Structure 1
Amino acid sequence: MLPKVNQTLFLQVASSDEEEAGVDYKSRIADMDDDRMMIEIPINERTGRYKKLYLGDELSAFFITDGGVKNFFSTHVLGFKDEAIRLIAVEKPDPESITQMQRRSFLRVSAELELAVKLNDHVRFLALTDDVGGGGISFIAEGKWKLKPEDILECWLALPYKNGSIEHASFRMEIVRVKPLIMGRDQIMAKFNAITDGERQKIIRYCFERQLQFRKN
């Protein structure tokens, strides 16, 4: 079930500052199309102050349906629109990604990074990520690899930092969803199945550097 126009959204904004990441905001959905939701500027529920958002900001959100059920999803800021009031465009969630179980929010950014993937001893290949975050990755793969939900992948991700250095993060992922694309390719959405805190921090560091780059452009 998707949220509807005029429905209230309750939000948290991903941040490296734990105190800021725990602040609760609320907003209203002003409009919606196939891919985006236009929301009003979020308001801090405790202070009543508006929260300024930036392109690429990741949001952890929920809306309430009949019976007081909280429906959680993650989204991110796509852009802005100035009308009678300023509106913020955020990615419309896939209905399959909405859950009634709250999940920790992790920053996720669009990025094309080289990913080495091992499915088993006979299937190894290179791919490019579509987006990356502290909770998982999506990447583009050739359909010939026949990847499917619940497959476990061993991965190595190259992370270029703004100081010119490159680090590699290694982890295991579980495929959550496979979306067929054109030209015989698939978009693979996966969550981390096994990753150390150190390897996760490498990815989060890259994401925050990437987000700062979005804000400067």
Structure 2
Amino acid sequence: MLNIGDSLIFELKDDQASKLKCKAVDLKNQVLYTDYPVYEKNGKTAFLLNGTHLKASFVGNDQNAYLFHTEVLGRCKEKIPMLTFKMPEAHELIRIQRREYVRIETAIDVALHSASQRFQPFVTTTIDISAGGAAVNLPGKQSFEQNEEVTAWFSLPFQKGTIEYAKIKAKMVRVIKSDKKEMATLQFLDLTETDRKKLLQFCFDQQLLLKKKGAFSE
């Protein structure tokens, strides 16, 4: 489930606002070996005492996000300095949700360009987004057609303060008009693995934020 080289996010039980990140270096006899965790906000190395309890999360090969509770077991040094953590059995991992199907309601900036040059490029906001598509607001001054192909430039703001950008080919599978607004649902096409991971990470990041606010349920 967890592979060597996978990224992990740790949260201290008494300080959930501070997130730590590290990578899995080795895994044997239910002991997880990682490089030294650093704070996401400033990149500084975190000092963790033996016995410190944490909540850990990672993305598995099936692109699901998993949670587990762990504690610091100790330190060791081979090629690099490492920390050791208690690793639960596979059946004890908590699956959050299949993330490519998690649709997060959020308003982020997106620029749309017509593949056929049928309309002028414009900047708008999303209504929701997932790793497979998005719903976006449309300006009322232009006309749009269903199944029209576009290039979408997304700006993805993360909780830690960084912004990632994704350029994605998409198709307007539905154009919905009402008295108050016009919107389109986009289906992503030919998604690169890099952009797919960005979207998965963003949706996961937003999901955690909504969970903290009590605005997201499984």
Taking structure 2 as the reference length, the TM-score comes to: 0.52
Equivalent residue number for residue 108 of structure 2? 113
The change in CA–CA distance for 1:199 and 1:180 in structure 2 (over 3 A counts) is same
Q: Aligned equivalents of 1:135 and 1:20: distance in 2?
A: 13
RMSD: 3.0
Equivalent residue number for residue 205 of structure 2? 209
Aligned residue for 1:145, secondary structure, equals coil
Q: Aligned equivalents of 2:165 and 2:195: distance in 1?
A: 8
Equivalent residue number for residue 128 of structure 1? 125
Contact 1:140 1:188 in 2 (8 A): yes
**Counterpart code for 2:105:** S
Equivalent residue number for residue 11 of structure 1? none
Shift of the alpha carbon at 1:203?
1.1
Structure whose alpha-carbon radius of gyration is higher: 2
Q: Aligned equivalents of 1:176 and 1:194: distance in 2?
A: 15
The change in CA–CA distance for 1:16 and 1:179 in structure 2 (over 3 A counts) is farther
Equivalent residue number for residue 165 of structure 1? 162
The change in CA–CA distance for 1:20 and 1:153 in structure 2 (over 3 A counts) is closer
Contact 1:170 1:195 in 2 (8 A): no
Q: Aligned equivalents of 2:95 and 2:105: distance in 1?
A: 17
Please show how residues 35-50 of structure 1 align to structure 2 within 5 Å: none
Aligned residue for 2:101, secondary structure, equals coil
Q: Aligned equivalents of 1:131 and 1:192: distance in 2?
A: 13
**Counterpart code for 1:203:** L
The change in CA–CA distance for 1:116 and 1:19 in structure 2 (over 3 A counts) is closer
Equivalent residue number for residue 139 of structure 2? 142
Q: 1:151 aligns with which of 148, 157, 173?
A: 148
State the identity %. 22
Q: 2:171 aligns with which of 152, 170, 174?
A: 174
Equivalent residue number for residue 75 of structure 1? none
Shift of the alpha carbon at 1:58?
7.0
Q: 1:200 aligns with which of 187, 196, 204?
A: 196
